[in-house]
């Protein structure tokens, strides 16, 4: 099983181009599944039947795992057996017709326009770190980038004159995203007065650098955004993804079409983007309830 899992993860990297984080998640889930099978004295993939998979999912449920976690494990197992079947390594797929647990859709947390303004005004542009932080916050809100995409940006990915940036998203897919006027100004200031002071090695390509002169990590940005949210007095639970959610919702509220927002977010399927229409509908309903005389 260990060898088969390794081959599957290699397939995900080479053929599917999945991100490291996704492959690592699949690997952890499948290794846990393999451990369960080993305790049942099942050592080869061809021995596994639907009942074994169902017993594993039931064990996850009994251990207190939430439906989203169980669904993730099942997705990994399904992908694994599809791969084995296509490779002719198993006679049939034991996960066929197995359905994921129903998930309650949770609407993402977003910030109001005033909260975004307050957050983005927190960095002190008189300091090198403040120039960098201001640029990062402006860019992520202006573009809706994922945090990993933001931290992966290189200086050459920017076209400040035309107001665009180039981003490599999930599945190594490239997209071009507009960069707003305020974000361009913040990045320009950072490049002129901030990055040059953080830079330790001229060959470094990363756009956003830490105080060691190396690429800033996702964890580093997480700490930055939590710090500024606290200083801004925003009571909501903020994650780096909050600005991505706010970007999408604010665009739709102001008349952007769903397909354009899908392109900017880098969603492969428009149904992923449609969750933001629920947020705007909720706002419309609230306005109607407060203002219509017969609501």
pLDDT tens track for 157-186: 999 999 989 988 777 778 888 888 999 999
pLDDT surpasses 90 at 44:
no
Q: What's the mean pLDDT when you consider all of the chain?
A: 86
Whether residue 294 lies in the annotated active site: no
pLDDT for the residue numbered 287: 55
Q: How many other CB atoms are found less than 10 A from the CB of residue 196?
A: 10
pLDDT per residue over 185-235, tens digit each?
999 999 999 999 999 999 999 999 999 999 999 899 999 999 999 999 998
Whether residue 52 lies in the annotated active site: no
pLDDT (average), residues 71-95: 91
Catalytic choice (170, 215, 226, 283): 170
Whether residue 73 lies in the annotated active site: no
Diameter over CA atoms, the chain: 69
For the chain, the C-alpha Rg in angstroms (whole number) is 23
Residues 111, 237: contact at Cβ < 8 Å?
A: no
Q: How many other CB atoms are found less than 10 A from the CB of residue 110?
A: 21
Whether residue 56 lies in the annotated active site: no
Q: Which of 32-41, 125-134, 212-221, 262-271 has the least mean pLDDT?
A: 262-271
Number of residues that this document lists for the chain: 295
Whether residue 278 lies in the annotated active site: no
Q: Which of 30-39, 86-95, 239-248, 266-275 has the least mean pLDDT?
A: 266-275
Strand-pairing partners, residue 3, are none
Secondary structure (DSSP) of 113-154: HHHHHHHHT-S-TTSHHHHHHHHHHHHHHHH---HHHHHH-B
pLDDT for the residue numbered 276: 66
pLDDT surpasses 70 at 96:
yes
Give percent above pLDDT 90 in the chain. Answer: 48
pLDDT for the residue numbered 6: 92
Catalytic choice (134, 146, 195, 250): 146
Whether residue 146 lies in the annotated active site: yes
Rounded CA separation 266/264 (Å) = 5
Collapsing DSSP to helix, strand or coil, 78 comes out as helix
The band of 14, judged by pLDDT with boundaries at 50, 70 and 90, is: confident
Nearest to 31 by CA among 76, 96, 64, 71: 76
Residue whose entry in the numeric block shows the structure tokens 């795992």: 65
Rounded CA separation 91/256 (Å) = 49
Rounded CA separation 236/242 (Å) = 10
Question: Which two three-digit tokens encode residue 182?
Answer: 């305020």
Catalytic choice (195, 244, 245, 250): 244
Check residues 267 and 136 and name the one with the higher pLDDT.
136
Nearest to 133 by CA among 198, 44, 73: 198
Check residues 31 and 270 and name the one with the higher pLDDT.
31
pLDDT for the residue numbered 155: 94
Show the domains of the chain with their CATH numbers: 2-86 (1.10.150.130), 113-290 (1.10.443.10)
Catalytic choice (82, 226, 241, 283): 241
Rounded CA separation 4/7 (Å) = 5
pLDDT surpasses 80 at 101:
no
pLDDT (average), residues 53-65: 91
Secondary structure (DSSP) of 157-199: GEETTTTEEEEE-GGG-EEEEE--HHHHHHHHHHHHHTHHHH-
pLDDT for the residue numbered 289: 66
The band of 295, judged by pLDDT with boundaries at 50, 70 and 90, is: very low
At a CB cut-off of 8 Å and minimum separation 6, what does 289 contact? 295
């Amino acid at each position: 099983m260990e060898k088969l899992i390794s081959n599957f993860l290699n397939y995900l990297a080479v053929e599917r181009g999945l991100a490291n984080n996704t492959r690592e998640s699949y690997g952890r889930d499948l290794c846990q599944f393999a451990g369960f099978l080993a305790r049942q004295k099942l050592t080869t993939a061809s021995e596994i039947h639907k009942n074994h998979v169902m017993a594993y999912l039931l064990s996850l449920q009994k251990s207190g795992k939430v439906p989203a976690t169980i669904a993730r494990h099942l997705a990994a197992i399904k992908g694994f057996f599809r791969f084995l079947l296509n490779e002719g390594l198993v006679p049939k797929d034991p996960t066929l017709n197995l359905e994921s647990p129903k998930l309650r859709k949770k609407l993402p947390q977003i910030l109001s326009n005033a909260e975004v303004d307050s957050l983005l005004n927190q960095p002190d542009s008189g300091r090198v770190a403040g120039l960098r932080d201001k640029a990062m916050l402006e860019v992520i809100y202006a573009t809706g980038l994922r945090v990993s995409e933001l931290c992966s940006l290189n200086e050459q990915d920017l076209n400040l004159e035309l107001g665009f940036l180039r981003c490599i998203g999930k599945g190594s897919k490239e997209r071009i995203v507009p960069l707003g006027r305020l974000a361009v100004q913040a990045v320009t200031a950072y490049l002129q007065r901030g990055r040059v002071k953080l830079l330790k090695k001229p060959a470094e390509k990363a756009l956003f650098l830490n105080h060691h002169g190396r690429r800033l990590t996702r964890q580093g940005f997480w700490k930055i955004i939590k710090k500024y949210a606290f200083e801004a007095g925003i009571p909501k639970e903020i994650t780096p993804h909050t600005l991505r959610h706010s970007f999408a919702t604010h665009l739709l509220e102001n008349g952007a079409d769903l397909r354009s927002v899908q392109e900017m977010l880098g969603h492969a399927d428009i149904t992923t983007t449609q969750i933001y229409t629920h947020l705007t509908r909720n706002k419309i309903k609230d306005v109607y309830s407060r203002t219509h005389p017969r609501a």
